[in-house]
Structure 1
Amino acid sequence: MNYRTYAILLLTLCVSLVTFSQNSTDKHYRHLRYNHVSPYIKLAGIYPISAKEALNSSHYTFTYNKQNQLTEVTNYHYATERRHPLASIGAYKTVITYNGNQETRVYLYVNGERVPNDRAVFKEIFTLDKKGNYAKLEFYDLDDNPMESNWGISNYTWKSYKKMIIEQRFNLKGEAKNLSSYFEFGTTGMTFRNDGTPIGKYNLNEDFEIVNNSAGVASYQDTYDENGNHVKYTYHNKEDDLVINPSGLAIGIKIYDDKGNYIKQQHLDTNGKLLRERDVPNNQNIRLSSIASKKDSLEIKRIALGYLKALQELNPVLMDEVLNDSLNKVTIGFNRSIRKEVVTSISREKMIENATDWNKSGTRFPPDPNNQITILDIYHRMATVKLYSDNWVEYLHLIKLDGKWTIINLLWQHKDVNRYPY
């Protein structure tokens, strides 16, 4: 896209924004209606809130024109939702325009620059049939050239057949593609409730008959509650019996709080027996860390002091224990060639080597080293420590992985500040 074309596009968007502000209606929703089925399903918000409540809540704003057409979706949703090419947007603003039987969506960052959505495409053009239903979707890059999504799909086609909508997907070569990169459904049939929520998605053969895929799955079926939450999904064979899918479950249960935040997931087998469950974190229901335990405090001190002791006592095994594999150790240095202070670093491997021979003479430290430690802060699995020794002042970051504390960041300088030019 050349500069003139881009400038015209931005001007058009700005004019459109002014027009929208004069002739538009905003509605605010806590969440998008979950959709893991198809882009055929219309964007919809659930859990409506007032404009006042939206000021201090994670939400989406839907903007409609006088014809009640959706023209913008502004993403103020900062909860830690799972990103999914069908279920999330991944852009600050979605701008939707209409021209004849086409609906075009472009995606913008906060500063107005165009960005890809969660399908990794820059523009989507839907073509509608005579009844106003989606018949085709095509993906484009910034230069308006056809492109493939992150699932290798360039376009979708849809048509009615009996009580189903038939969906097919193709790449840029015109080759048929599966429903997604991780789920083997080719040509598929979809059924819907009156409110637009999906009931089932079916794997079809060339005669549009329901058939099992190679894993023995012929359909997955969805249940939504009265609030629009996606609460259940199940996997079936062509006889409609429950079957275990490739991920090892037959039934998935999703549990929500009173504000529609997804808080728990359960997986069940074909008999409804619980296989596993887990809490789903989100920043709308935050559990703060408890006060650090005495055990953690003592271990943090041991690990932090262990770094000094490993140097002082020639103990490379201890040095290897206390340093994280991703250690970042830096200090202030002076580059003589550019006459400028710079940051210099020392590798983890060099530190282990130093613990082997750096103090072989026994003269690098006093006979009775003065190692002092202050724990500045501990939060859950992170800690900040200050070390004050005969030689250096150092700030350490520690991290707890698999129950073990190690030093991951280390910033140090000489205790004698006269060693520095300023």
Structure 2
Amino acid sequence: MSKILLLSVVMSAAIWSTNASAEQEHFRHMMFRESPYAPYRGIYPMDGKDTEKAVHYEFSYDDEGRVTRISHKLDDQTVPLHGGFDTFIWFAPEVRIAYSDGQEVHTYYGTDGVQIHAHGQVWRAVYSLDADGNRTSLEFFDKDGAPSANAWNITRYEWRPSEDGHIFEKRFNPAGEQEKMRPVLEFYEVKLEYDRDGKLSFMRNYGLDHTPTNNSSGAGIDRITYDLNGNFIRWQVYDKDGNAVEGNRPMVHLGEHLYDDKGNKIGMRGFDRHGVRMPFSWGAIMEETSYNQQGVRIAFRSYRPDWSLDANFAFDYSKDLSRQLSIKSMDANGQLKDDPRLNGGAVLQFSQDDAGNIVRTFKRADGTPITSDDE
């Protein structure tokens, strides 16, 4: 068996847990996943006594050490994600996993324990497994059991091993056509290269005809680097021949994530192929995120290349973190400021109607509401 196929078996069976006999474990964060081929992995393990003080992920296991549930919690209460960066390719407060011969089924739940559609119309995500337990495909279904698509217009993933022991991945949309990895990442078929610890190190674009290919930005390879805690700290962009380029959506050669000592991502910045700081394609030279003591995002700021403030958002929540109350846009002096990213307003308020649906209300800095006629 190739090393990556063997690794996949190990990942499916035990790498989910640092202790296969444990019924539950707790982690502050989840390891980055570019592809749903990889399993969920917790990083920054927590002592049980700390779970009442900070948001975290609770992993539950069956008698075989396989993960059966992951919940985002504060103490014993499941809470929303509130803009966290950890659950890429998950997008729900809780996922439950069931196993059967040849299948692994994921379903998604809200904070009240009621099943929900996640990331588009994904009610069930069904992995097919080969005889060795390796993932070979993933299909999405809606509440009625019909094939459905996620928010990236993907309805099916397919994986097969490469001759050198790595993994090829293709994605398909509802029309059966190959689909990009994400709307903002123009890689079609990709070769996923994992290191000996199961972390994705290289992703190579093979286009639509199984040939190393540059996309429209000139990018053909992404390299991903991690620190010793398992944080995704850096990506680097190359063309298909391995030459450094500025490409993909951010249009930098090297992007860097900065973390605090608890693993919260507090900053992001970019560099060109010569190591010189440069802005991302959306104009920011630097992005900063702040967190409260419970590990929840409370502020986001971005700066223009002249280091003037471009965005300054504050996020407010209920005391128990069960609901987000508002997003506010402010100037450098902390005064409310209208912003096009808030529909031209300075405040976005969240409330609930009698049916429990989230109602969004935009208001200008002077307090006047923005009506549908204004939009």
Q: Relative to structure 1, is the Cα distance of residues 287 and 244 closer, same or farther in structure 2, using a 3 angstrom cutoff?
A: closer
Do 1:42 and 1:196's aligned partners in 2 also have CA atoms closer than 8 Å? no
In the alignment, which residue of structure 2 is the partner of 1:66?
Answer: 63
TM-score by length of 1: 0.61
In the alignment, which residue of structure 1 is the partner of 2:128?
Answer: 127
In the alignment, which residue of structure 2 is the partner of 1:102?
Answer: 103
- The alpha-carbon deviation at position 83 of structure 1 amounts to 5.9
Distance 1:269 1:204 in 2: 24
Q: Aligned pairs, how many?
A: 280
Equivalences for 1:292-311 in 2 at 5 Å?
Answer: none
Equivalences for 1:16-415 in 2 at 5 Å?
Answer: 25-35=23-33, 37-76=34-73, 80-82=82-84, 87=88, 89-118=90-119, 120-163=121-164, 164-205=166-207, 208-245=210-247, 246-275=249-278, 276-284=285-293, 380-381=334-335, 406-409=365-368
| Structure with bigger RCO (C-alpha 8 Å, 6+ apart) | 2
Do 2:104 and 2:128's aligned partners in 1 also have CA atoms closer than 8 Å? yes
Mean Cα displacement is larger for which, 253-262 or 179-188?
179-188
Q: Relative to structure 1, is the Cα distance of residues 28 and 261 closer, same or farther in structure 2, using a 3 angstrom cutoff?
A: same
Distance 1:193 1:232 in 2: 15
CA RMSD of aligned residues (A): 2.9
2:55 maps to amino acid = S
2:253 maps to amino acid = A
> What SS does the aligned partner of 1:52 have?
helix
Q: Relative to structure 1, is the Cα distance of residues 49 and 82 closer, same or farther in structure 2, using a 3 angstrom cutoff?
A: closer
- The alpha-carbon deviation at position 78 of structure 1 amounts to 5.8
Do 1:154 and 1:170's aligned partners in 2 also have CA atoms closer than 8 Å? yes
- The alpha-carbon deviation at position 205 of structure 1 amounts to 4.7
- The alpha-carbon deviation at position 153 of structure 1 amounts to 0.8
Do 1:148 and 1:171's aligned partners in 2 also have CA atoms closer than 8 Å? yes
- The alpha-carbon deviation at position 117 of structure 1 amounts to 2.1
Mean Cα displacement is larger for which, 159-168 or 70-79?
70-79
> What SS does the aligned partner of 1:280 have?
strand
- The alpha-carbon deviation at position 187 of structure 1 amounts to 1.1
Name which one, 1 or 2, has greater alpha-carbon Rg. 1
1:56 maps to amino acid = K
- The alpha-carbon deviation at position 214 of structure 1 amounts to 2.4
Do 1:124 and 1:139's aligned partners in 2 also have CA atoms closer than 8 Å? yes
Q: What do the CA deviations read for 1:318-376 (whole angstroms, capped 9, x no partner)? A: xxxxxxxxxxxxxxxxxxxxxxxxxxxxxxxxxxxxxxxxxxxxxxxxxxxxxxxxxxx
Name the structure where helix makes up a greater proportion of residues: 1
Do 1:80 and 1:283's aligned partners in 2 also have CA atoms closer than 8 Å? no
- The alpha-carbon deviation at position 248 of structure 1 amounts to 2.2
- The alpha-carbon deviation at position 132 of structure 1 amounts to 1.6
Distance 2:103 2:134 in 1: 11
Distance 1:187 1:130 in 2: 24
Distance 2:241 2:150 in 1: 33
